[in-house]
Structure 1
Amino acid sequence: MSKDIIAELRDTVTEAVRETGSYALNCIGNYGEIRDKSSRDFVTEIDEKAERRIIRGITERFPDAEFYGEETGRQGSGRYLFVIDPIDATTNYIKGINGERIHVSDISELGRSVVGWNRSNHPPEIIESSKRVLAKIIDQAATFRVFRTGSLDYCYLAKGSFDACITPLAEPFHSAGYIIMEEAGAKVTDYYGRPHSLESKTIIAGNPEWYPEILSLVTDTKTD
C-alpha cells in the first residue's frame, strides 16, 4: 500500500469520524428511540445514524470498502475493511457522561465566594490560627462549608462549586486532590505561597485570578 493511499485513508476516516462526532455531541439529550440490544445493553437511533454517517463518508472516496459495524454488522466486500463502533459505551452517552470539562469557578471577589474549610477536627496546635482564618472568612466571604472530607472539598473546588478551599492541617494522602484542583485550573500552595508537596502542612487553593486575595487571608495565621 502506497504512502499516498495510506494518507488518503487516514484523512478520509478522520474527516468522517470528526463530522460524526460533532453530530453525536449535538444530539445529546435528543436520542430518539432507545432499544434493548440485549440484557443491560442499549442502542439509540443516534448510534445507528452515526454508524451510517461514517460509512457514507468513507464510501464516497472508497466505494469498494468493506465495513464491520457494531450496529449494522458486516457489509460490502473490498480491499479495505473498516471496523466501526460509532459510540462506545452508549449508556454513558445516554446519561451525558462526560458532558463537559470541569473547571474552577471564575469568581473574583471574596464577598461573592463560597469557601470550603477542609478540616473535621482541630488539634491544639492549629486551633488559634484556624479561629483567626475562620473569623476572616465569616466576615468577608459570602459563606463557607465544612463537609469533613478533603476529597469532596477538592472536587467541589475543581468543578466550581467552591471558589476557594483552605486546609489548615494537610496530610500527604491529600496529594491526589491537589492535582485534581490544579488540572481544573486552580492555583494550589501552602500558606506561604509555596507549591504543594508531600511535606505541605497547610493548603490554600482557588482560581489564579483571585488566589492572591486568598493568600492574604491567611498570611498572618501561618503554621509550619
Structure 2
Amino acid sequence: MSLASSPYTEDLRLAHMIADAVDAKTMQHFSRMDFAVETKPDLTPVTVADREAEELIRSQLSRARGRDAVYGEEFGETGSGPRRWILDPIDGTKNFIRGVPVWATLIALVDHGEPVVGVVSAPALGRRWWAAKDGGAYTGKSLSAAKQLNVSQVASLADASFSYSSLDGWRDIDRLEQFLSLTERVWRTRAYGDFWSYCMVAEGSVDIAAEPELELYDMAALVPIVQEAGGQFTSLDNDPGCSGPNALATNGFLHAPALHALHAQPNEPTFDF
C-alpha cells in the first residue's frame, strides 16, 4: 500500500501545503504568546490564532477546491456537496494558551460521508501524521520524508496501554464507573489527550484511546489515520468512524473488549475476548 494507490493523493498534497502555511502562522502566535483569550458561548476558549488559522485554510481551499463544502470549528458551514473539508484550526486550544506544545491543526476531507483524507500537524512538537484512503498512514515532516504507521499487535486488555483526555464527560454519559473499571483492567493509563492519543494508536505506542464528548471537527482527520494504520475507529456505541458524539479508537484486536467494558453494568462479568 502506498500513497500512489489512493485516489485522494492530490487532496492530501493540498492538505499538506495548507498545513505548512498554517503552521507558520500558529507558531508565530505560540512563540510570542501575543493574543487575548476569549470565551465562546459553549464556554471553550478561543484566540485570534484559532480564527486566523481557519481563515487561512478556508482561503486556500476556496482557491484550490472552490466547489467543495467546508465545515470548521470557528466559522461553521459554507457550501454544499458530497465533498466536505472538516477543520479544527487548533485542537488543544487550552494547551496552546498555556504554552503546552500538545496542540495541532486538523484538516480532513470527507467524501460522501466517509473521511478519506486526514492531516494532523503539531508544529510545536515537530510532528505530523497523515493518511489517505487506500494509501496507508504515515508520520514525518513531509511527504518525501515519511514513515508508514502500523497499530500494535497487543491482543489482551491486561497488556494494553489506554490513553484519554480527562475524566470530564464520562459522568455526563453515565459511564464513569465503566471507564474507571477499564482503567483498572489495562496495563497502563496515560492522559496524553486530544489528537495525540489517536495518533499514538496509529503509531502502535498506545493500544486504546477514548473520549466521551467530541465534535465532528475533533475526529474527522483522525479516522483515516487510525484506519489506514490498521486500527478501528468508532463511537462508544460502535457507530462507524466519526458519525457519533464520542470516540473509541483501538488497534482492532481490542475493540470488542473495550466496547464491552465501557458498556458493562456493575457486577456484570467482563471478558478480554
- Output the TM-score relative to the length of structure 2: 0.41
- Output the TM-score relative to the length of structure 1: 0.49
